[in-house]
Amino acid sequence: MTHVVYVHGLWMPGEESLILRHRLAQQFDLTLHLLRYSAAHSSMTAITARLESLVRALQAPQVHFVGHSLGGLVIHRFLERFPDQPPGRAVFLGTPCVASRAAERAGRVGPVAHLMGRSVAEELLQRRERRWAHPRPLGIIAGTQPLGVGQLLAAFEEDNDGTVAVRETRMPGMSDHIVLPVSHLGMLVSARVARETGLFLTEGRFSLR
């Protein structure tokens, strides 16, 4: 039994990943676990502590991670804070690894900034230098279908998934990166994204392209 912990993004309950999780279970025989958290009401410290408790409770010799959007940054901070974890791999889906122009602009609007919450303020409303220095391989999937409110906020003039620009997903130290014609939310129901995620988790690579 191979365990995978899925970490959802901002304003998401986790159920939006049902199709992705089902495909990973059916096509790659992976056992999925969902971390639920409230980005609006929890600090990154509190969220990563919950993730540590979940992983510890699994008592598994190997654990993979999949993070959508902000969920990828949760995984990154978790492994920085709790580096002594079972071996495995990680896949980020549309994660703003180095910046988030959409979040920065939304953060200038008071009511929206309040709804974003503490964890987003800590991670996305100011530019941070991030690098993947963990021993586990990291694969990143970015999208180029510009559907989403982030497109309106950020006024992107570059490839983006409607919320995050492709350039913003590239974290120094990553193992592999692939760009697919999907939107920020659409990647969660994409058969190709599920296949690429499963390939990286089980084989450590994306498909040839």
Q: pLDDT per residue over 45-71, tens digit each?
A: 999 999 999 999 999 999 999 999 999
Q: Which of 22, 192, 208, 172 is nearest to 93 (CA)?
A: 192
Q: What is the mean pLDDT of residues 133-145?
A: 97
Evaluate whether 94 touches 68 at the Cβ level (below 8 Å).
Answer: yes
Alpha-carbon distance of 114 to 107, in angstroms, equals: 8
Asked, for residue 123, whether it belongs to a domain, the answer is: yes
Asked, for residue 55, whether it belongs to a domain, the answer is: yes
Across 40-50, b (16+ Cβ under 10 Å) vs e yields eebebeebbee
Q: pLDDT per residue over 88-136, tens digit each?
A: 999 999 999 886 665 555 544 444 544 555 555 566 666 667 899 999 9
Alpha-carbon distance of 102 to 124, in angstroms, equals: 9
The structural domain count of the chain equals 1
Q: What's the domain range around 152?
A: 2-203
Average pLDDT along the chain: 87
Q: Could you tell me the CATH number of the domain that includes residue 17?
A: 3.40.50.1820
Asked, for residue 155, whether it belongs to a domain, the answer is: yes
Asked, for residue 24, whether it belongs to a domain, the answer is: yes
Q: Which residue, chain included where needed, has tokens 């979940």? A: 54
Query: What pTM value is reported for the model?
Result: 0.90
Asked, for residue 208, whether it belongs to a domain, the answer is: no
Alpha-carbon distance of 110 to 63, in angstroms, equals: 39
